Amino acid sequence: MKNWKIVLTLLASVGLTSAGVTSVGHAAPDFSQFDQRARAGAKLKVGFFGASLTWGANASDPLKTSYRAHVARKFVSTYPKSHFEFVEGAIGGTGSQLGVFRLERDMLRYRPDIVFLDFSANDDIYSDG
């Protein structure tokens, strides 16, 4: 499945420098800049972009027991001096191809410092496309 590469390339091309983008279109998988800013107490936006699992499908309470809720709590406990805003851009039942088209509207307009991306349940793992 190559669709996730399109979304990651788009994320890299918008210049998310705090998430480790070194130049337009070339993402460096480096969490250190975000970590340094969070330890220093910066105001940071954390985005969750994806489909039903990102929204919290099958969680007993999406706001408390979804993976994004667990990640949010971990950020708050790990970086107590930082101030986080969590942005949720999930639409259940959709795949990464639609994600490419809604990336700007549902995530990038909020200018997140880091984005967690998941379309795993809805993209066909058996596809070559």
Q: How far apart are CA 19 and CA 83, in angstroms?
A: 16
Half-sphere exposure (Cβ direction) of 111: Cα atoms closer than 13 Å: 3
Q: Which of the pair, 115 or 16, is modelled with greater confidence?
A: 115
Cβ partners under 8 Å of residue 2, min gap 6: 128, 129
Q: pLDDT, tens digit, for every residue of 71-107?
A: 999 999 999 999 999 999 988 888 888 888 888 999 9
Q: Which of the pair, 11 or 72, is modelled with greater confidence?
A: 72
What residue segments make up the domains of the chain, in order of their start?
Answer: 3-13+32-118
Q: How far apart are CA 7 and CA 37, in angstroms?
A: 25
CATH superfamily for domain 3-13+32-118:
SGNH hydrolase (3.40.50.1110)
| % the chain with pLDDT above 90 | 37
